[in-house]
Amino acid sequence: MMNYNLNDIPVINKTYNETPKGNGQVISTVDGEIKILQCSHEVLEKVLSLINGTRTFEKIENELEELYPLDEIRNFLSALVNERIIYPTPESNETLEGATVCIIGKGRLASVMNKAIGLSHHKEFKTITFTIDEFLLGQSMIDFDVAVFAPDQCTYEDILCLNKKMLSKNKPFIQCYFDGRELGLGPFFIPGKTACLECQTMYHIKNINNKIFNGQLIDTEDIKSLYFSHEFPYAYKDSQLLYVADLICQDIISYLQKGNMEFADVRKCYKANSLTFDNSYTYYPTTECKCCRAMNNSYTKWREGLLPNFKDTKNSLEREICYTTGGLRSKTEKETKQLIDETLERIGLKIDVKRAVSNPFNRVVPCYNAILDTSHSNKTPYSFRKTKAWGKGLTEMQSYFSASFEMFEHIGRQYVGDIPIVEASYKDVEQNAIEMNTIAESIQNKNTSYDKFNPNTAIDWVWAKSLVKDDYKLVPALMVFMDDVNTKGRFYGGSSTGLASATTIEDAILHALLEIIEHDAWMIGQANQHVLPRLDYMTSTNKVLKERIDMVKDMGYQVISRDYTNDLEIPVFRTWIVNPNNDTHFAFSGFGASISPEIALERSVTEAMQSDALVDPNNPLNNSISGAKLLSRVNSIYSLSYLYKKDIAGKASSISMLDKPNLKIQSVNQAIKHIIKQLKKKIPGCDVLYVDLTKDSINIPTVRVIVTGDIQRLNHPLISVSPRTLNFGINMGYSNTPATYRELYLGDYPH
């Protein structure tokens, strides 16, 4: 599979050097690592000779096509990228020549910034300088590309006014200041793509308000006259400030050349006489910010008669299921691959989908990783943070699909301000919102920093469409977005429950529904201390899967499957792969849920093999762990005492795959209807809703599905607990009495 974009320009790693060994081998070192390359030295030299820092991958391919088949060329170039011998740099028509940097502030740092830019390697910049008052009073009519905010002593009113003006001018800026204790560098603010300076301020205000009980909460108006920054003490020598100024210049260059920036979303703090940062803080958008409203131009306060603002792309076509490896899909393998490849090529994001080479089970099943580099400049309107996804499957193609769609899910769930938000109290929207008392009553630990539910307090809501009643309801933004945006009404930790991407919106809804059921069974079955039945996977009709399990056993591992299916009666299995000879890399588990028991088992086994933590246990470097790191490694025996006794070594009856009902489902919509019918039967009064999170210009269908009522949601740790979790023992015949909250397992676990 290609792991580069044709328009990228490859360069050779400066640390690369080699010597030919003969017999199709080349010995090399890259980044201090010795490698043996299985290739012809002449072919390698030919390819590397074409990489001169100006040719794109496409031009290199064109020149090599006269000698070799295109698929072999792409495999060779991808291997060089994987081995870090070459690496792609985005093609950029941007030039630094003539770029104007506006320095706002006075004092030592502002002077040093001018000096740093005047050095030879930053001469391509032009500079203009204003004091804060000059800039705010309108003497900033000269255009500029990026600003540096380097004040000495200034107030919160100064910085909030400056922030508002920069947003109105749509200009990026990076800040550097002394807060009275240490030097703060960053964040680098990009209007519409990152949290603004008022978002940062509101984080500090909210932390203070969380400590105020029965008192008057504070707002930005209350702190405007207070000092935000102070003059730099002489303990910070000019040489240190020059170093910091150079870091700023490097980030400005990265921004102008559409590269990755070190200080996007991040503030790093430096003590005097230190060139390494002491602390680092990440800031996400917050709807508490009155300036940008979490970068959301569609943030609205509730009013009577407000109509749903909902993107609806679902249709009722009965698409037949035509792909069943690892799941149920309505597109063929060829159609699916074409959609993924065309999208990866079109959107201009640096996404690398490749085999996970460190995984010891790569010889058993193809394990894939997908990695997205931080990108504020691409062929979409959005900025994305670095993220990583994993793929599972019995076949090469299925694992590639799995990693790719999980990456698109990660992209789709990143908050970018594109989904309309409505602010209202539950009391004001009760007739238009999902029932909230069940959620409020599920919170078992109220001594946390999470918001406390109050029907009269403002909550952020998102419109969702019901798959049961075909109408629209408001759901808390907590249930839609992850933790990369701070919304009003965060009653417990967010999770990926009910998120999915697929080739069609219907396929995504089906996958998301099954993940909700999987997470419900996971949380309930794990928290309750009853030992669950073992699953006899050798009674499976999937011969290929059984062969792969035998291969894992031949490597010295144990394979144990448990039936986590609960009262919802949709098959959910958990498979453990255990290394009895390695307590550091002791056990890894995977879950699978499907209306087909065979698919559920297949997913659980392949997921157990795909774990990124599953590094090669035979490599001595991967075992050089001691002390607290051993305790914090969730896959070591030291973190798995409870699950070892319950899932791995626990004694229970064994059930056959043949005892599991195997429904004949013809279409995706039929599968969706079956699951909804089962949910309504087992959870009376529940609703099933979805929000379309598909990003414009990416156009890979992505959804968040929400099930209301007595469903157990994944939250880590388990603060929100459903009644069905406490009644699991009764519902499944293990007990005559419900469990109490403190009888549940509430500790850490692999996730």
Clarify whether residues 105 and 69 are in a common domain.
no
- CATH number for the domain including 162? 3.40.50.720
Regarding whether 254 and 182 lie in a shared domain, the answer is yes
Say whether both 643 and 550 belong to one domain. yes
> Which of 89, 113, 139 is where one domain is finished?
89
- Per residue in 333-388, pLDDT tens? 999 999 999 999 999 888 989 888 778 898 899 999 999 988 787 889 898 988 99
Q: Which of 295, 326, 358 is the last residue of a domain?
A: 295
Is position 609 within any domain?
yes
Instruction: Tell the burial category of 592 from Cβ atoms under 10 Å away from its Cβ (0-12, 13-18, 19+).
Output: buried
Q: Indicate whether 311 pLDDT > 80.
A: no
Hey, how many other C-beta atoms are within 10 angstroms of the C-beta on 494? 21
Q: Is 181 part of any domain? A: yes
User: Are 50 and 188 within one domain?
Assistant: no
Q: Which of 315, 323, 715 is nearest to 511 (CA)?
A: 323
Q: Are strands 458-466 and 472-476 parallel, antiparallel or unpaired?
A: antiparallel
Q: Which region among 312-316, 470-474, 682-686 has the lowest average model confidence (pLDDT)?
A: 312-316
Scan for tokens 């899932």, then name that residue. 647
Q: Tens digits of per-residue pLDDT, 266-289? A: 999 999 988 889 899 999 999 999
86-100, 602-616, 693-707: least confident range: 86-100
Where is pLDDT greater, at 730 or 329?
730
Position 2 confidence tier, pLDDT thresholds 50, 70, 90: low
* Three-point CA angle 377, 379, 384, nearest 5°: 50
Crossing angle of the two packed helices 41-49 and 70-82, in degrees rounded to 10: 90
**Within this chain, do residues 84 and 214 fall inside the same structural domain, yes or no?**
no
Across residues 1-10, what is the average pLDDT? Answer: 77
Residues 110 and 78 in one domain: no
CA–CA separation, 701 and 142 (whole Å): 43
Residue 220 shares a structural domain with residue 263: yes
Q: Over pLDDT 70: what percentage of the chain? A: 95
Summarize the confidence of residues 664-686 as an average pLDDT. Answer: 95
Residue 89 pLDDT: 73
Which range among 39-48, 348-357, 523-532 has the greatest average pLDDT? 523-532
d(CA 645, CA 158): 60
293 closest CA partner among 199, 222, 200, 194: 199
Which runs of E-coded beta strand occur in 39-95?
Answer: 86-89
Confidence check: pLDDT of 141 > 90: no
Residues 206 and 234 in one domain: yes
Give me the domain span that covers residue 272. 99-295
Q: State the pLDDT at residue 516.
A: 99
pLDDT at 540 over 90: yes
Give which of 279, 178, 188, 164 is closest to 235, Cα–Cα.
Answer: 178
Whether residue 431 has pLDDT greater than 90: yes
Mean pLDDT of the region 198-207:
95
DSSP assignment of 577-637, as one string?
A: EE-TT-SSS-EEEEEEE-SSHHHHHHHHHHHHHH-TT---TTSGGGG---THHHHH-TTST
CA-to-CA distance for 159 and 165, rounded, in angstroms? 10
222 with 199, same domain? yes
pLDDT confidence of residue 620: 46
The reply to whether 104 and 240 lie within a common domain is yes
Q: What is the pTM of this model?
A: 0.86
Give the end-to-end CA distance of the chain in Å, rounded to a whole number.
28
Q: Are residues 212 and 105 in the same domain?
A: yes
| Strands 173-178, 146-149: pairing kind | parallel
512 inside domain: no
Give phi and psi for 384, each to the nearest 5: -125, 140
- Tell me whether residue 739 is in a domain: no
152 band by pLDDT with thresholds 50, 70 and 90: very high
- 278 shares its domain with 251: yes
Between CA 729 and CA 737 the distance in angstroms is: 7
Residue 299 pLDDT grade (very low, low, confident, very high; cuts 50, 70, 90): very high
What is the number of structural domains in the chain?
A: 3
Residue 393 lies in a domain: no
Whether residue 519 lies inside any domain: the answer is: no
Q: Is residue 176 part of a domain?
A: yes
Interval 634-650 mean pLDDT: 94
Query: Does 586 reside within a domain?
Result: yes
Last residue of a domain, one of 62, 89, 116: 89
Range of weakest confidence among 7-21, 52-66, 94-108: 94-108
CB 392 within 8 A of CB 612: no
Instruction: Dig out the tokens for 711 from the structure.
Output: 């469903």
CATH for 22: 3.90.930.60
Amino acid letter, residue 638? Y
| Mean pLDDT rounded to a whole number for the chain | 91
The H or E element that residue 501 is part of is strand 499-501
